[in-house]
Amino acid sequence: MVMKIKLSTFCVLTLLASISTATNVESSDNKHMQPEIKKAIENQSRPEKDRQRDIDRKPSEVMFFSGIKPGDIVADIGSAGGYYTRILSDIVGPKGHVYGFNGIEFARVFKNGNPTDPIAAERENVTSIMGTFNDPILPESIDMAVIILIYHDTHLTQLNIDTASMNNALFDALKPGGTLMIIDHKAEMGSGLRDVDKLHRIDKLYVREEIENAGFRFIDESNILNHPNDMLNTMVMMPNVRGKSDRFIFKFMKPE
C-alpha cells in the first residue's frame, strides 16, 4: 500500500528553509573533480547515446556532489540500461563494486531481458540483479545507493509498489554513515503524488519526508540540474521537456 503523507504548513516551511541552503556545484568546479570521475566520464567505451546525454545530465557534477570514491560498494537502484552503472563502475574501481538493480515490476518494459546483464558480463566489478522494488535484496552492505529519475515510478498506481518498504530495505542495506542520493523530476511544491501518473513528476518535499520517515537524515541538496524555465506542468517525456525538466538532487545519510 502506498503511504500517504500530509505535509503541515509548519513542516513545509521548515523544509523550505533548510532546502534554501542547497549546494550549487557549477561547471567551473570541474577542475577540482577527482581524477577517477573525470576519467570515468571521458571513457571512450561508453555508448555514444550515453555520451550525447551528458550535456543534460551533467554526470561529472552529479558524481562530485554524490561524494562517491574508489573502493565504494554502490547500489544503482533502477539501473536500466546502465547510464550511471558504467560511470559508477569506473569510479569505484577494482576494489569497489556496483550492484545494478532492476525491479521485476518493470519487466514488461525490458523486452530483451535485464538490460544491466550485458554490463555485468563485461565488467568484473558489476553485478546485475533483478528483484522486487518492495524489497531490493543486496548480497552485502553498501556504502551508497542511488535512485536516479525513477523514484517517482515506484509510486505509479499501476505498479502497486510499496515505496516505504523499499526505503526501509535500503536503509537496512546501507552501512552506518552510508548515503542515499535521489534525483527526480520536480512537480509543483505541495502537490504530493498528484502528478506521478500523468506527468512522471513528484513533489520533492513529499520525497524528503518519505525518506526521512525511513530513518535517513537529510544532508544536502544540489541545484545543478535546475531548469527554471520548466513550468512543471508537462509530461517529462514530451520533446520540448525531455532532458530539460527541472530536477532535484537530494542526499541523505544513514545515521552512524
Rounded CA gap, 42 and 87, in Å? 9
The pLDDT value given to residue 113: 86
The pLDDT value given to residue 119: 97
pTM of the model: 0.88
Half-sphere exposure of 199 (CA within 13 A, CB side): 21
The predicted-structure confidence for 60-70, as pLDDT tens digits, reads as follows 999 999 999 99
The pLDDT value given to residue 178: 98
Q: For the chain, list the domains and their CATH numbers.
A: 9-253 (3.40.50.150)
Q: Which residues of the chain have pLDDT under 70?
A: 1-33
Phi, psi angles (nearest 5°) of residue 146: -125, 140
The predicted-structure confidence for 121-139, as pLDDT tens digits, reads as follows 999 999 999 999 999 999 9
Q: Which three cell numbers stand for residue 216?
A: 535517513
The pLDDT value given to residue 111: 79
The pLDDT value given to residue 2: 39
**Could you give the angle at the alpha carbon of 68 between the alpha carbons of 132 and 237, nearest 5°?**
55
Rounded CA gap, 109 and 56, in Å? 24
